[in-house]
Amino acid sequence: MKTIRIAFLTVGELAPTTGEKHGQLVGLFRGLFAQSQPTSSKETVQVVLDDFDVRNGIWPSPEDLDTYQALIIPGSAACAFDDALPWLPQLLAVIRSTYHNKPHIKLIGICFGHQVIARALGGKCVKNDKGWEIGVAEVTLSDAGKALFGQDTLRIQQMHRDHVPSVPNSQPFEVLGSTSVAPVQGLVNYYPGSKEIHVFTLQGHPEFSLGSDIVTRIIDDRQANGVFDAQLADTSRKLAVQDSQGVTVVGGVLWRRVLGIDAA
């Protein structure tokens, strides 16, 4: 059996009412990989996610990091441009060091992870003047996105106000798609001279496709805390229950194209 080890850098958590039912983010990503694993592959593969809560100073050592094939940075209520966060400078440094000095480790970023990877590698993250994007959105895929996902659009759960306004130009990134709210819905970076993926990011949340009420519960929590007003919450709940392709499409791309596990 082949084992793929992934370092999961926890940068946020779900509210208790959501976490008690569905578990925390590392558990959702374990479920995402489990539910999207190819039913028939050339070899038996297991994905192991080791959780490092970097907010509390728990980081993989440089030596330990060498044993991982990928690094995932998930979502967070934090802002990728908030330099007052005590752990953010080190996170930016780890991303840069991993990208430049440990190229065998693939970088995967989801929502906040997408934003902070973009910032670390020459781009920026800002608060979106167009406001929140919540619930299932239809992403219009670019040529790069169509080639990767094998379709023209991607329906994926969203939960963000911050965004990446443009493609970082210091590294060879390609944008995967856009919506009317956020023009950079994902990024891909290939190893030089090949189509093997080095960096893969998405603004949306494929892991939120695991439960039909995950996003609805987050909306409820944020309305109760005064983050969302009633109108925004009501509109977002209607979008949150629509069908999404986080497991069926994105999960398959993570296995086949990012991790390189092809079906037989």
Q: Does residue 125 contact residue 85 with C-beta atoms inside 8 Å? A: no
Domain ranges of the chain: 2-258
Helical pair 112-120 and 88-101, crossing angle rounded to 10 deg? 70
User: How much is the mean pLDDT over the chain?
Assistant: 94
User: The tokens of 74 are what?
Assistant: 């998930």
Handedness of CA 30, 33, 35, 39 (dihedral sign): negative
Q: How many CB atoms lie within 10 A of CB 233?
A: 18
pTM listed for this prediction: 0.96
Q: Residue 40 above 70 pLDDT?
A: no
Q: Give the pLDDT band of residue 264 (cuts 50, 70, 90).
A: very low
Question: What count of Cα atoms within 13 Å lies in the side-chain half-sphere of residue 73?
Answer: 32
Q: For 62-87, what is the mean pLDDT?
A: 96
d(CA 134, CA 142): 21
Helix (H, G, I), strand (E, B), or coil: what is residue 243?
A: coil
Give the architecture (CATH level 2) of 2-258: 3-Layer(aba) Sandwich (3.40)
d(CA 17, CA 19): 6
Q: For 74-94, what is the mean pLDDT?
A: 97
Question: What pairs with residue 258 in β-bridges?
Answer: none
pLDDT of residue 234: 97
pLDDT tens, residue by residue, 141-185: 999 999 999 999 999 999 999 999 999 987 899 999 999 999 999
Q: Does residue 159 contact residue 111 with C-beta atoms inside 8 Å? A: yes
Active-site amino acid positions: 111, 205, 207
